[in-house]
Chain A
Amino acid sequence: MPDMSNATPLLVMKDVHIEARSNDIWTSVVEGVDLTLRKGEVLGLIGESGAGKSTLGLAAMGFARDGCRISGGSIHFDGIDLLAQSEAGHRSILGRRIAYVAQSAAASFNPAHRLISQYIEGPVQHGVMQRDEAMRDAFDLYRRMQLPDHERIGFRYPHQVSGGQLQRAMTAMAMSCRPDLIIFDEPTTALDVTTQVEVLSAIRDIVRQYNTAAIYITHDLAVVAQMADRIKILRHGREVEEADTAEMVNAPREDYSRSLWAVREYNRIPRPEVKSSSVPLLAIQNISAAYGQALCLEDINLDFHRGRTVAVVGESGSGKSTLARVITGLKPPSQGSIHLDGDELPGSYRKRSRDQLRRVQMIYQMADTALNPKLRIGELIGRPAQMYLGLRGKALTGRVRELLDLIGLDPDSFINRLPSELSGGQKQRIGIARAIAAEPKLIICDEVTSALDQIVAAEILKLLDDLQSKLGLAYMFITHDISTVRAIADDVVIMSGGRIMEVGPKGRVLDSPESPYTRALLESVPERDPNWLTKKLRKSRLG
């Protein structure tokens, strides 16, 4: 690249204001953000949900989604004022010179057309290439994106390829017109960690090969550190800080930037070891389960002890959620037995006694769907106490207030609210209170922090930890996030393909894993070091 083109920025956004409409009132979503991007440069845009990062990413294309409007500022792309363009003029730039890769490739591809016919649509429409030429080009880009069987994969339908492959096909499609700028909106968030590494490296290679500028939007600082030259942090629609990647990772200036590592840095006091002689609270013996013919759990043996947290880690399809369903009785096992406090539990929840149901409670990933939206907080939390402990009237209200105090919400202002009047973190706290209200022995936490922002997630983990030491609860903590495991677990169980790969105390499993799968899994988790991906790829090529 000649130095001249590096000197003039490709994209200049100045003092951009974006508003969104709700109930006929326009509220500000992005307030005066500046952004410059040179040719071939990758800018990481990070922030919590609602920080305005996706909105700003779309604005870089001169586009505002439905119900939003760009109310102020200027956006110049290669000297062209995007906001002053006619619709036809704008369209000739989009796709041709600026491309967009969405978070969910599965939702962005048209399921009724083959991958390759969606690929060639852009170049042919924009008159960049002829059909045949575009087809050959697709094979080439599929190969560069490290897709297997690159001459034939394009003739499949979107549902016939895996999530990671689909995301790479989407990136290839975005590259089809060789745009100057690509906007990646959380392209790997929906993927498993081992798949994520492949997609990240493919994206990084192709962007470098064609010297494409990119805006990389994500909430994960470790991911963005691998991809970006510069990082900009957004919060509440304003810029918090912008710096080169190395500087941002090693020495962030603002407190808020530091707090983005909150979960990774949260570390609780370790619990004492269990005596080998003690009887486990819940013992799972030789459990197998199947959906139809397909075996989804195979010969699982696992113990849970009072006051301890067992983290069950695995990628999607590893059987970790099925294991939870077996314990709760939603999925009766085809073989094996579960003992709670020494008594055998019936396989189906319908056959369990009320007291058996009481002792195992569950907290869900999505607090939005886990709380009945039409019931008030008082009833949501009070119901288990009323059912299991027989509390009525004043005693019940007193207990509900006690529970609200316990989870750190003010009883007077929350007891009569509906779930829709709460924030995501508050809803999750209600989910916790509902589980505690039953006075259980074991709580199954199914990805309870994965839908939350880092800071809120850290608070929830801390709350769970406090409750554990106060009430002597046992937790089964299902997660795919290794930093959460480091923060809260005593013992770690690694699952894959319905089997337990490795089990042991946290320190041993995470620091000196024995099984090759655990090692591969741990090595795929992005680290803060900006050179992590480069090192990892070099290592895997050598090995």
Chain B
Amino acid sequence: MTPVMFLTWGALAIVLGTIAGWSFRWILSRCTTGYVRIAVRQAPVAASFGMLIILLYVGVAILAPLIAPFAEREVVADQFMPWSATNLLGTDNLGRDMFTRLIYGARNTVGIAFAVTVIAFVIGSTFGLLAATVGGWADQLSSRLVDVMMAIPALIFSLLLLTIFGTSIISLVLVIAVIDSTRVFRVARAVAQTIVTMDFVEAARLRGETLFRLVFREVLPNALAPLIAEFGLRFCFVFLSISALSFLGVGIQPPMADWGSMVRDNAALITFGDLTPLLPAGAIALLAVAVNFVVDWFLHIASGLQE
């Protein structure tokens, strides 16, 4: 591919993306009302493009069995077949349909990443908010514990833990969730620390409110905007670390389709100038970009409302 062609394709992609984002925003503003409609109308094209992509991924993940031409684990032809009418994107190292695997990969990788992020947030933000609200030795203890965990590089730590606990889906989800919850803890605690010094929290303490109510009624609603923004970013990181672990062979195990391991399994093709193994990597990149577009927009709205 010459540089000129590369630039042409790039420009075409940007134009198409803009048109897609623009028309998606138009459709959205037609079918919403009230506050949501105003927010959607003012959304930048990048954000609506991001929403469109995310929606597309979710749709593909849910409807995978209906869209995919073959079954996830079915061997349909010879190994490494080129793109053709029956096998749209060719076949992989075991002769399974690449297009089908890509679709099921959305389901597995995105689904697991979402589950991990939710668990990481429940653990991390609960303890982060609690630590900031209670303060004192409870805060010191949990913060130092988190510091110790964060001192170990995340990828190496998760490799270690996965080797100990085995590579089942459940242990994968829990290990990454626990490791990522330390990051969420830091963010939640930092945000909450500025909130708990405010007079309304003092007023609530003096009123004799329970700890539960202090955390979830007084502090959490005010910490929500930065936490949701963090959720989007964290989702991308989790996504990447699952793919990285799969690439290293301890993540999602074969024969389940997963974008990270699909890159590894078919990496040999790159030497022959074939783009196919890069497609799952491209799928990961596109989703990461889309999520970040939406998060940026959300942060913008949230900071605007707080003024």
Q: A residues touching B (Cβ–Cβ < 8 Å)?
A: 328-330, 349, 352, 354, 357, 362, 364, 366, 369-375, 383-384, 387, 434, 438
- Chain B residues, Cβ within 8 Å of A349: 205-206, 208
Q: B residues touching A (Cβ–Cβ < 8 Å)?
A: 198-200, 202-209, 217-218, 221-222, 224, 306
Determine if A372 and B218 form an interchain contact, defined as CB atoms under 8 angstroms apart: yes
CA distance A24 to B32 in the complex (A): 23
Determine if B221 and A372 form an interchain contact, defined as CB atoms under 8 angstroms apart: yes
CA distance A120 to B306 in the complex (A): 40
Determine if B222 and A370 form an interchain contact, defined as CB atoms under 8 angstroms apart: no
- Chain B residues, Cβ within 8 Å of A434: 203
Q: With A384-B207, A387-B208 known to touch, is A364 a contact of B221 (CB < 8 Å)?
A: no
- Chain A residues, Cβ within 8 Å of B205: 330, 349
CA distance A375 to B200 in the complex (A): 11
- Chain A residues, Cβ within 8 Å of B199: 364, 366, 369-370
CA distance A373 to B224 in the complex (A): 12
- Chain B residues, Cβ within 8 Å of A370: 198-200, 203
Determine if A364 and B206 form an interchain contact, defined as CB atoms under 8 angstroms apart: no
Chain B residue with the shortest CB-CB distance to A352: B208
Q: A-B pairs with the 7 shortest C-beta distances?
A: A374-B221, A370-B199, A372-B200, A369-B199, A364-B199, A369-B198, A357-B208
Determine if B222 and A374 form an interchain contact, defined as CB atoms under 8 angstroms apart: yes
Determine if A357 and B200 form an interchain contact, defined as CB atoms under 8 angstroms apart: no
Contact of B200 among A329, A371, A384, A438 (CB under 8 A): A371
Q: How far is the CB of B63 from chain A (nearest CB, A)?
A: 37
CA distance A364 to B209 in the complex (A): 18
CA distance A371 to B222 in the complex (A): 12
CA distance A228 to B246 in the complex (A): 76
Given contact pairs A330-B206, A364-B203, A374-B224, enumerate 5 new A-B contacts (beta carbons under 8 Å).
Answer: A328-B206, A357-B207, A370-B198, A371-B200, A372-B218
Q: With A369-B198, A370-B203, A372-B200 known to touch, is A354 a contact of B208 (CB < 8 Å)?
A: yes
- Chain B residues, Cβ within 8 Å of A383: 207
- Chain B residues, Cβ within 8 Å of A328: 206
Chain B residue with the shortest CB-CB distance to A373: B222
- Chain A residues, Cβ within 8 Å of B198: 369-370
Which of B202, B208, B224, B306 is most buried by chain A, counting CB atoms within 10 A of its CB?
A: B208
Chain B residue with the shortest CB-CB distance to A349: B206
CA distance A364 to B208 in the complex (A): 17
Which of A329, A372, A375 is most buried by chain B, counting CB atoms within 10 A of its CB?
A: A372
Chain B residue with the shortest CB-CB distance to A419: B200
- Chain B residues, Cβ within 8 Å of A369: 198-200
Chain A residue with the shortest CB-CB distance to B222: A374
CA distance A257 to B210 in the complex (A): 49
CA distance A403 to B205 in the complex (A): 22
Chain B residue with the shortest CB-CB distance to A329: B206
CA distance A374 to B216 in the complex (A): 12
Determine if A362 and B208 form an interchain contact, defined as CB atoms under 8 angstroms apart: no
Chain B residue with the shortest CB-CB distance to A383: B207
- Chain B residues, Cβ within 8 Å of A373: 222, 306
Which of B198, B203, B222 is most buried by chain A, counting CB atoms within 10 A of its CB?
A: B203
Determine if A372 and B208 form an interchain contact, defined as CB atoms under 8 angstroms apart: no
Determine if A387 and B203 form an interchain contact, defined as CB atoms under 8 angstroms apart: no
- Chain A residues, Cβ within 8 Å of B203: 362, 364, 370, 434
Determine if B202 and A330 form an interchain contact, defined as CB atoms under 8 angstroms apart: yes
Of the A-B pairs whose beta carbons lie under 8 Å apart in the complex, a sample of 13, sorted by A's number, is A330-B202, A349-B205, A349-B208, A357-B206, A364-B199, A366-B199, A369-B199, A370-B199, A370-B203, A374-B222, A375-B221, A383-B207, A384-B207
CA distance A310 to B34 in the complex (A): 50
Which of B200, B206, B209 is most buried by chain A, counting CB atoms within 10 A of its CB?
A: B200
Q: How far is the CB of B307 from chain A (nearest CB, A)?
A: 9
CA distance A438 to B203 in the complex (A): 12
Chain A residue with the shortest CB-CB distance to B201: A372
CA distance A438 to B199 in the complex (A): 17
- Chain B residues, Cβ within 8 Å of A387: 207-209
Which of B199, B204, B209, B218 is most buried by chain A, counting CB atoms within 10 A of its CB?
A: B199
- Chain A residues, Cβ within 8 Å of B209: 387
CA distance A328 to B200 in the complex (A): 14
CA distance A228 to B105 in the complex (A): 76
- Chain B residues, Cβ within 8 Å of A366: 199
Q: How far is the CB of A478 from chain B (nearest CB, A)?
A: 14
CA distance A387 to B206 in the complex (A): 12
CA distance A352 to B198 in the complex (A): 22
Chain B residue with the shortest CB-CB distance to A438: B207
Q: How far is the CB of A238 from chain B (nearest CB, A)?
A: 26
- Chain A residues, Cβ within 8 Å of B206: 328-330, 349, 357, 362
CA distance A370 to B222 in the complex (A): 13
Chain A residue with the shortest CB-CB distance to B199: A370
